[in-house]
Amino acid sequence: MMYLILKLIHVAGVVLFLGNITVGVFWKRASDRSGNASIMAFTIDAIIAADRLFTIPGIVLLLIGGLGAAFVGGIPILGTGWLLWGIIAFILSGVAFGPLSRTQRKLSVAAHAGDLTEYERLSKSWDLWGFIALALPIVAFVLMILKPALPAF
């Protein structure tokens, strides 16, 4: 029963985490199309707030549930390829979140100042780091579901 509870916590974390980062991309793109600096500022500020409310708690739940379920289920983390590479993809996503987060704050400043030239320049960086921060968790998601035979230690 404990394994299933931890798995539920893990899946809830995945939903919060992946759902929020995916929806953030949608809302930023929608606000950017408006060309309205006020809408863009409001949206990027909301994305930053949503990261605090959903992404970060999602990460915590995802890790507690996933690592706990692996431990309780007797699944060796370093010895199970799909799990190991899923965790590596997740960690690399976290590394990409650093530059993404800094860029989000700069985007907010540029949008509030009405500097759409700077906002557009920063958006290119946000697109790159955002793609990495979104693509790698999707890779981890696929690995966790399909559980392919991958090398491990």
pLDDT in tens, 72-121: 999 999 999 999 999 999 999 999 999 999 999 999 999 999 999 999 99
Which of helix, strand or coil describes residue 143? helix
pLDDT the model gives residue 62: 97
Please report, for the chain, the start and end positions of each structural domain, with discontinuous segments joined by +. 2-146
Which of helix, strand or coil describes residue 149? coil
Question: How much is the mean pLDDT over the chain?
Answer: 97
- The CA dihedral of 149, 93, 16, 122, to the nearest 10 degrees, is -150
- What pTM does this model have? 0.92
Residues 125 and 37: their CA atoms lie apart, in Å, by 18
What values do phi and psi take at 86, rounded to 5? -65, -40
pLDDT tens-digit profile of 49-63?
999 999 999 999 999
User: Residue 112 is encoded by which pair of tokens?
Assistant: 């509030």
pLDDT the model gives residue 28: 98
